[in-house]
Amino acid sequence: MKLIPSLLRSSGFLVFLATVLPLGLPLGLPLGLPLGLPLGLMPKALGQSDPAKNNDAPRLIEVRFRASELEPIIGELVVQNAKYGLLLLNEDGELITIPAAPKGTSKSSDSSTEPSKEPDTSILGIHSIVELEGPMKPTAPKELAEKSLALMPQGAKFIVTEHFVVCYDTTDVYARWNANLYERMYKGMIRFWKEKGIELEPPRFPMVALIFSHQDDYVEYSKRDFRGGENTFGYYTQTTNRLATFDLTGIEGMLPPGALVQREELITEIFSRPQAERQVATILHEACHQIAFNTGLQRRLGDYPFWLSEGIATFFESPDFNSSSGWGGTGKINYFNLSNLRQYARIRPADSMMKLLVQDDLLRRGETSTAAYAESWGLTYFLIKRKPKNFVEYLKLLRERLPGNPADAKQRLDDFRSCFGEDLDKLDKEFVRFVGTLR
């Protein structure tokens, strides 16, 4: 049986795996020498635009390895750099890395170390690269659904909507309720950003969501991406481009075998629970991430401050239980985060915003994450409401950056100041006053 080199793995905090492991790439390796491929062949926005209409379309290549047990990789060349080696986008919309050096390679050579017996899936293990006729044709929704069912428990089914492929082993009504939420949010985000001056594009690939009936199955699936899935309700991964969650209602365990549940019963059950607001917000939060990274609002694996990505998701996540779907539209106050922000305001240091702009770990560490998420929502809400043109300018600036080029703290501050002004103290005071007016 031939092996397929693994997808680039992600790591990060809980539900949104935005940070990518560099997989031990030594920076000193001469990338490009064995390849003979020019750089800069990637699309303007990863994951959405139609290359048939783009003269700068990426090249479709087939990478063949020396190890005969390794399957060739076919995909579009996204980027080549020290962080990722070669980064390819395949027909399923997944990002695959071919690192610069074999797994376990270090700068210091140790003659006593036995060579790895695993086949070399790095650039150094490439036999040849063949350029193919493009453009690449994305996998059809039903075919992608069939592939994705292999990740689900036996007996799982799928729903294909206009923009999503939803695989599930829950009740049909719960899966369809989620699918309707996803589509409702998609249409709402498209309208919202168009009004703000950003024309989002239709997703190039169907957006896949996996909904597990049981949390244990969800946790087992999540192990391929990160550890600690038992502490999460769901997550979106930029590399696989999949969203995963489980039945947050627990309604499966309350039904006798073979029993049917009506949509109205399900909605009533969900909305009647004390934790309903956070459960529905989680579904919406992860869908927002997936939509943002598939419509060109954000570039997959691009260099985005964590506060911004999470701020956008918390901006759109607020449920509306006056709506039969659970989501009433964009721009609503996130009262959960507003409450947390007001509590944090009592002890908030003067340099809090400055730190948030440059320190992603504030959102990852348990002792600071609640306040950091609240401030991320508040800052995003403030900027969108009070400085929408500047916010759009900021998004467009960051979207132009190719994957694998992380900004340091100085660059992050320079980027922010170039769009919102040099005087961050003044901006912070405006922000604090604005939050004080929210009701």
With 0-12 CB in 10 A as exposed, 13-18 as middle and 19+ as buried, what is 434?
A: middle
The token pair at 256 is 């006798």
Q: Does 286 share its domain with 268?
A: yes
| Cβ-contact 381, 313 below 8 angstroms | no
Q: Among candidates 47, 5, 61, which has minimal Cα distance to 138?
A: 47
pLDDT at 231 over 50: yes
Q: Please state, rounded to an integer, the average pLDDT across all residues of the chain.
A: 83
Residues 6+ apart with CB under 8 A from 97: 7, 8, 23, 84, 85, 86, 87, 88
Q: Does 82 share its domain with 171?
A: no
Instruction: Name the residue with higher pLDDT: 40 or 362.
Output: 362
Q: Does 86 share its domain with 214?
A: no
| Cβ-contact 93, 205 below 8 angstroms | yes
120-129, 276-285, 417-426: least confidently modelled range:
276-285
Instruction: Name the residue with higher pLDDT: 138 or 15.
Output: 138
Residue 171 lies in a domain: yes
Q: Does 150 share its domain with 86?
A: no
pLDDT at 379 (0 to 100): 98
pLDDT at 293 over 60: yes
pLDDT at 12 over 90: no
| Cβ-contact 129, 58 below 8 angstroms | no
Residue 25 and residue 337: Cα distance in Å, rounded? 38
Amino acid symbol at 177: W
Domain that holds residue 74: 10-131
Q: Does 405 share its domain with 294?
A: yes
Residue 70: left if φ>0, alpha if ψ -120 to 50, beta else—which one? beta
Q: Does 387 share its domain with 293?
A: yes
Q: Does 161 share its domain with 34?
A: no
With 0-12 CB in 10 A as exposed, 13-18 as middle and 19+ as buried, what is 17?
A: buried
Residue 224 and residue 210: Cα distance in Å, rounded? 14
Residue 1 lies in a domain: no
Residue 203 and residue 213: Cα distance in Å, rounded? 27
Element (DSSP H or E) covering residue 399:
helix 388-399
| Cβ-contact 166, 106 below 8 angstroms | no
pLDDT at 261 (0 to 100): 54
43-47, 209-213, 314-318, 384-388: least confidently modelled range:
43-47
pLDDT in tens, 309-348: 999 999 999 877 666 666 767 888 999 999 999 999 999 9
**Which of 131, 150, 170 is at the close of a domain?**
131
CATH number at residue 206: 1.10.390
Residues 6+ apart with CB under 8 A from 60: 74, 75, 76, 131, 132, 133, 134, 135, 136
pLDDT at 76 over 80: yes
Q: Does 125 share its domain with 157?
A: no
Q: What is the mean pLDDT of residues 101-113?
A: 58
- For residues 174-198, b (16+ Cβ closer than 10 Å) or e, as one string? bbbbbbbbbbbbbebbbebbeeeeb
| Cβ-contact 62, 127 below 8 angstroms | no
With 0-12 CB in 10 A as exposed, 13-18 as middle and 19+ as buried, what is 414?
A: exposed
Q: Does 361 share its domain with 433?
A: yes
Amino acid symbol at 90: N
pLDDT at 9 over 70: no
pLDDT at 3 (0 to 100): 56
Q: Does 52 share its domain with 156?
A: no
pLDDT at 334 (0 to 100): 94
105-119, 131-145, 187-201, 265-279: least confidently modelled range:
105-119
Residue 405 lies in a domain: yes
Residues 6+ apart with CB under 8 A from 210: 148, 151, 152, 167, 168, 221, 242, 243, 244, 245
For residue 283, the SS3 value is helix
- Residues 75/80/86/92 CA torsion (nearest 10 deg): -30
Residue 315 lies in a domain: yes
Residue 336 and residue 314: Cα distance in Å, rounded? 10
| Cβ-contact 98, 5 below 8 angstroms | yes
Q: Does 157 share its domain with 244?
A: yes
Sheet holding 126-131, edge to edge: 95-98, 85-89, 73-81, 60-65, 126-131
Q: Report the number of distinct structural domains present in the chain.
A: 2
With 0-12 CB in 10 A as exposed, 13-18 as middle and 19+ as buried, what is 1?
A: exposed
Instruction: Name the residue with higher pLDDT: 251 or 231.
Output: 231
pLDDT in tens, 359-413: 999 999 999 999 999 999 999 999 999 999 999 999 999 999 988 888 999 999 9
Residue 3 lies in a domain: no
Kindly indicate the confidence band of residue 291, based on its pLDDT and cuts at 50, 70 and 90.
very high
pLDDT at 100 (0 to 100): 87
Residue 5 lies in a domain: no
**Which of 112, 131, 150 is at the close of a domain?**
131
Residue 335 and residue 34: Cα distance in Å, rounded? 55
Residue 376 lies in a domain: yes
Residue 362 and residue 355: Cα distance in Å, rounded? 8
Element (DSSP H or E) covering residue 167:
strand 164-168
pLDDT at 206 (0 to 100): 97
23-37, 288-302, 305-319, 333-347: least confidently modelled range:
23-37
pLDDT at 142 over 60: yes
pLDDT at 72 over 50: yes
**Which of 131, 161, 177 is at the close of a domain?**
131
11-15, 101-105, 346-350, 379-383: least confidently modelled range:
11-15
Residue 307 lies in a domain: yes
Residue 121 and residue 3: Cα distance in Å, rounded? 10
Q: Does 118 share its domain with 150?
A: no
Residue 89 and residue 73: Cα distance in Å, rounded? 10
The token pair at 295 is 């419509």
pLDDT at 14 over 50: no
pLDDT at 134 (0 to 100): 83
Q: What is the mean pLDDT of residues 76-91?
A: 91
pLDDT at 153 (0 to 100): 97
